Amino acid sequence: MKTILLIEDNADIRENTKELLEIAGFKVLTAVNGKIGVEMVVQETPDLILCDIMMPELDGFGVFLALNKNYHTAGIPFIFLTAKTEVADKRYGLSLGADDYVCKPFDSDTLIATIKNRIEKHEKAKREAQQQLLLYVKELEEMLHLTSHRVRAPLCTCLGLIQLMEAKEDYRGENKGELGEILTHIKTNMSELDSFTKELTQFLYDAKAKKKMSLGILPPLQ
């Protein structure tokens, strides 16, 4: 069941609209002014917001601008619900980024259709964004595999050659101390780089897993 937050200061309109939306199958939350409405959005995260423009304390435009400053609430579908029919007000509301504009008195079928249409568009856009993100995660995984192979393979080869040099009899010469220091330095740096590639691999793997979890693809870690 989709949740709608109705922000309306007129008690009769608020209750009548709430009843209409509940009959249509929505869960409806209500706020008597814009300030309370903003607080409820942050707490409840509704699927869509219906908001009057002319209200005390904080008008509809102020509500929209306040929610747009919050990353978690900026993307919620937002429809202005108002008795004002001036073209300038409508254009201004839409210019802010609102999804739609319904004038009172409104036709119930039109209101319900508008709400459903906006929720469907929002969900479609969300699915498309998730698909794009999944493609990015896949590309990241492929890059990670290639990077790990291309970096660690020569590292392991070099470390093996150093160990071979250390084992040879002719290594036990006059320059053993100096050469030993050089080889030790090389081996230490290569080992550190090898450890870094392992850490990088694990970091990117964890980042990929967390992103999939946020998309609901993997269960949360226990």
Q: State how far the Cα of 96 lies from the Cα of 65, in Å rounded to an integer.
A: 8
**pLDDT recorded at residue 34:** 93
Give tens-digit pLDDT for 142-190. 777 777 666 667 777 777 767 766 665 555 555 566 666 767 777 777 7
User: 3-106 domain in CATH 3.30.9.60?
Assistant: no
Q: State how far the Cα of 135 lies from the Cα of 145, in Å rounded to an integer.
A: 15
**pLDDT recorded at residue 221:** 44
Annotated domain spans of the chain: 3-106, 129-214
> What pairs with residue 80 in β-bridges?
51, 101
Task: Order the strands of the 48-51 sheet from edge to edge.
Answer: 27-31, 3-7, 48-51, 78-82, 100-103
Give tens-digit pLDDT for 189-212. 777 777 777 777 777 777 767 766
Give tens-digit pLDDT for 80-115. 887 766 666 677 777 787 878 888 888 888 899 999
Q: State how far the Cα of 15 lies from the Cα of 27, in Å rounded to an integer.
A: 13
Give tens-digit pLDDT for 53-73. 888 889 989 999 999 888 888
**pLDDT recorded at residue 78:** 93
Q: State how far the Cα of 160 lies from the Cα of 152, in Å rounded to an integer.
A: 12
